[in-house]
Amino acid sequence: MTTVFLAGGGTGGHLYPGLAIARALVRARPSVRPYFIGAARGIERDVLPDAGFPFALLDLHPLYRPRVWRNWRTAVGTITAWRRLERLVAAERPRLVVGTGGYASALALAYGVAHGIPIVEQIADSHPGLTARLFARSAREVYLGFPEAAAQLAHPAGLAVVDTGCPIDPPPSPRPDRGAARARWELSADGVVLLIVGGSQGARAINAVVAAWLARGLPDGVSVIWATGRAMYDAHAAAEGPRVRVRPYLSPIADAYAASDAALARAGAMTTAELCAWGLPMILVPLPTAAADHQTANARALAAAGAAVHVPQATLTPQALDAVVRDVVVDPVRRASIARAAAARARPDAAEHIAARILTLLDRSSLPP
């Protein structure tokens, strides 16, 4: 067996790309053994036990900037995690470390660099963070979710920077019939359907505007599938009606994608990659508090490519939402134009592409046994 460490997590945007890559690696070569390195504080604590791969969760803490006296936990956790990585490496003998972002990714990549284990990175967003930019200097290859990120990375000799797209679960082939998908939602086959989703936890600011917009009355011919997030479902469940479906969470979300003509969403890399893969026009409302405002950078990149309309959260009102829905969703010519641009950005085979490149690296004699 050939062990590969996949390190990343904290959020779904850092964990799920690693899972997609791991599955693609095993499909392509069953002798590869993905081993996940995560943080005990992250989403991986709940997801990895059911993912089917071996894993280790490290006691990592963030930097406490407002309460600097708490950074002793960060220092102690880092030292403890480094020592545990030493034991894991001795036991598992990984031939490669794949970093997908987050605290665990940074530590595992640093360990790889310090001990001569080759590293690669998957950078999801259009604006790479400081850690991603730092380790790109030492990586064998970097896989980009957004081609715009390349301009912000150093390109030392020997580094391959590859526009792969974000590794996602691609749409099924052939695509589900839209009429049948709408029938499952008990929505009319006529008109258009707008999917509204603010991420797995929902988006309070978006939900408030959507609720007020629905209270005004939907434009003719528009239906809505609205995922509120579990914590906010009870507050908005009463909005359910003949043309409105309200759900706390969408799983599998493919059923909603198949029924929809456009989407109102945050601008996370994984969400936008999935929407592009499905060819859905996007109305993107970036989370303004995202690290380094990377969601705004994502939304601007997609808007510049004609694949989305960027609406800053500060300007999102019921009136503004109504106007953009009429512009993007109701107008068939405008909707088709944005859909074509979104589909042109799609990289549904990103996980397979990345896996193939990793396997090529593993086959090179220069990598340690």
- Number of continuous H segments (helices) and E segments (strands) in the chain: 14, 13
| Domain 178-344, classified CATH 3.40.50.2000, yes or no | yes
Which amino acid, 203? A
Per-residue pLDDT averaged across 302-322, rounded? 97
**What does each C-alpha distance from 221 to 11, 165, 178, 203, 328 come to in angstroms?**
36, 34, 16, 25, 13
- In the chain, DSSP assigns E strands to 2-8, 32-39, 55-58, 96-101, 119-123, 141-144, 160-163, 192-197, 222-227, 244-247, 262-265, 282-284, 308-310
CATH number of 2-170+349-363: 3.40.50.2000
d(CA 224, CA 6): 38
C-alpha torsion 168→340→264→8, nearest 10:
20
CB 287 within 8 A of CB 305: no
d(CA 279, CA 341): 8
Q: What percent of the chain has pLDDT over 70?
A: 93
d(CA 179, CA 100): 37
Q: Apex CA 85: angle with CA 80 and CA 86, to 5°?
A: 100
pTM of the model: 0.90
Map out the domains of the chain as residue ranges.
Answer: 2-170+349-363, 178-344
CA 295, distance to chain mean position in Å, is 11
Nearest to 21 by CA among 159, 139, 155, 164: 164
Q: What is the pLDDT of residues 337-348, one digit of tens each?
A: 999 999 999 999
Which of 72-76, 100-104, 240-244, 355-359 is least confident?
Answer: 72-76
Per-residue pLDDT averaged across 181-192, rounded? 94
Per-residue pLDDT averaged across 270-292, rounded? 94
| SS3 at position 75 | helix
Confidence of residue 130 (pLDDT cuts 50, 70, 90): confident
Q: Does residue 241 have a pLDDT over 90?
A: yes
DSSP states of 290-302: SGGGHHHHHHHHH
Buried-state track 96-130, b at ≥16 Cβ within 10 A, e below 16: bbbbbbbbbbbbbbbbbbeeebbbbbbbbbbbbbe
DSSP letter at 230 equals G
pLDDT in the model for residue 99: 97
The overall average pLDDT reported for the chain is 91
Same fold, 2-170+349-363 and 178-344: yes
Confidence of residue 369 (pLDDT cuts 50, 70, 90): low
For residue 263, what are the β-bridge partners?
195, 282
How many other β-carbons are positioned within 10 Å of the β-carbon of residue 300? 18
The pair of structure tokens assigned to 195 is 């999917």
pLDDT in the model for residue 78: 74
pLDDT in the model for residue 66: 60
Q: What is the pLDDT of residues 135-178, one digit of tens each?
A: 999 999 999 999 999 999 988 888 999 999 999 988 998 989 99
pLDDT in the model for residue 59: 83
pLDDT in the model for residue 77: 58
d(CA 335, CA 294): 26
Q: What percent of the chain has pLDDT over 90?
A: 79
Q: What is the pLDDT of residues 41-93, one digit of tens each?
A: 888 899 999 999 999 999 876 655 566 545 546 556 578 888 999 999 999 99
For residue 160, what are the β-bridge partners?
141
For residue 119, what are the β-bridge partners?
97
pLDDT in the model for residue 198: 86
pLDDT in the model for residue 368: 57
pLDDT in the model for residue 267: 96
Go through the chain and tell me how many residues it has: 369
